Amino acid sequence: MGPQNLTHVSEFLLLGLSHDPDLQPLLFGLFLFIYLVTMLGNLLIILAVSSDSHLHTPMYFFLSNLSLTDISFSTTTVPKMLVNLQTHRKSITYAGCLAQVTLFSLFAFLESLLLTVMAYDRVVAICHPLHYLVIMNSRTCGLLVLVSFSISLLTSLLHYLMMAQLSFCADVEIPHFFCELPQLVKLACSDTSINNLLIYFIGTILGGVPLLGILYSYTLIISSILRVSSSDGKYKVFSTCGSHLAVVCLFYGTGLGVYLSSTVSSSPRKNAVASVMYTVVTPMLNPFIYSLRNRDIKSALWRTIIRIA
């Protein structure tokens, strides 16, 4: 069958994680719980940072932006999945699918860049503590977040413009619980060579380069820690970046795991299940990682909860 005009494709079908109807209520309850915990945990982080003057520092400013990104990242995919599970429908409109692809790319790239900015913040704090407040002033912090958002927005819009040029055939089934960019490109009937090249190029630049920056930052941090004579001093220095390192390992570890599973496994359904880790579980765990390892956050959270109660 020849390619149809793009305007003829009104919707796609999201096949989800399982065809078993007995599992649908269980999946709905599980993902609703995860989503609510994600929203609550990240909102509490934002409220604690914004309301507690002790947390008005660059590190916590970046953390609140990361929490906002996690909320947006999760909201891009989970609510639509919950609606489909509850209504027993699998459809998503063409416009909704394209919007989901764009927003997912935006917040995934933004998360990667914010983690890199946070690594730079830790390098300045540990390696240049006397000049920390001068280097990481409010203008610099705001500019770093703005640049990260602008780069993410431009690249996601580029993906959107390239996807809008594609035409699709009769097969509109996406073996996933959301409109994932590579899966959507595979359904296109028109030439997708530029799209595939763009996916790999942008993925390498906005995935690989930030990761290399983070690794280089921790090389400098470890070198600085080794110069500290006392063991207590080393622990105190490392504890300031332990939570960030855990979040980095979780985000890039799950993302890399999904990529490797997609290259090893030929089952799209298994790849969709693996994607749950970095799209749904990671945004939920980030607030716990930061709050459990940080006394200032825990104290501020308790004060925030008491005020709310």
Written as six digits, the tokens of 69 are 């990104």
Q: Identify the DSSP state of 92.
A: E
Based on the structure, what is the number of domains in the chain?
1
Q: What is the pLDDT of residues 178-229, one digit of tens each?
A: 998 888 888 888 888 888 898 888 888 888 899 999 999 999 988 888 887 7
- Asked whether residue 163 is assigned to any structural domain, the reply reads yes
**Residue 6: pLDDT over 50:** no
- Asked whether residue 170 is assigned to any structural domain, the reply reads yes
Q: Which residues have a Cβ under 8 Å from the Cβ of 228 and sit 6 or more positions away?
A: 234, 237
- Asked whether residue 2 is assigned to any structural domain, the reply reads no
State how far the Cα of 280 lies from the Cα of 71, in Å rounded to an integer: 10
State how far the Cα of 116 lies from the Cα of 158, in Å rounded to an integer: 22
- Crossing angle for the helix pair 295-308 and 282-292, nearest 10 degrees? 110
Residue among 309, 301, 247 at smallest CA distance from 50: 301
Q: What's the CATH code of the domain at 56? A: 1.20.1070.10
DSSP reduced 3-state for 11: strand
- Asked whether residue 173 is assigned to any structural domain, the reply reads yes
Q: Which residues have a Cβ under 8 Å from the Cβ of 80 and sit 6 or more positions away?
A: 14, 92, 96, 100, 178
- Asked whether residue 5 is assigned to any structural domain, the reply reads no
Q: What is the pLDDT of residues 61-91, one digit of tens each?
A: 999 999 999 999 999 999 999 998 888 888 8
Q: Answer for the pair 257, 266: CB distance below 8 angstroms, yes or no.
A: no
Q: Identify the DSSP state of 6.
A: G
**Residue 5: pLDDT over 60:** no
- Asked whether residue 149 is assigned to any structural domain, the reply reads yes
For residue 253, the enclosing domain spans 10-308
Q: Identify the DSSP state of 17.
A: S
Q: What is the pLDDT of residues 147-189, one digit of tens each?
A: 999 999 999 999 999 988 888 877 688 888 899 888 888 888 8
State how far the Cα of 207 lies from the Cα of 215, in Å rounded to an integer: 12
DSSP code per residue over 123-187:
HHHHH-GGGHHHHT-HHHHHHHHHHHHHHHHHHHHHHHHHHTT--B-S--EESSSS--HHHHHHT
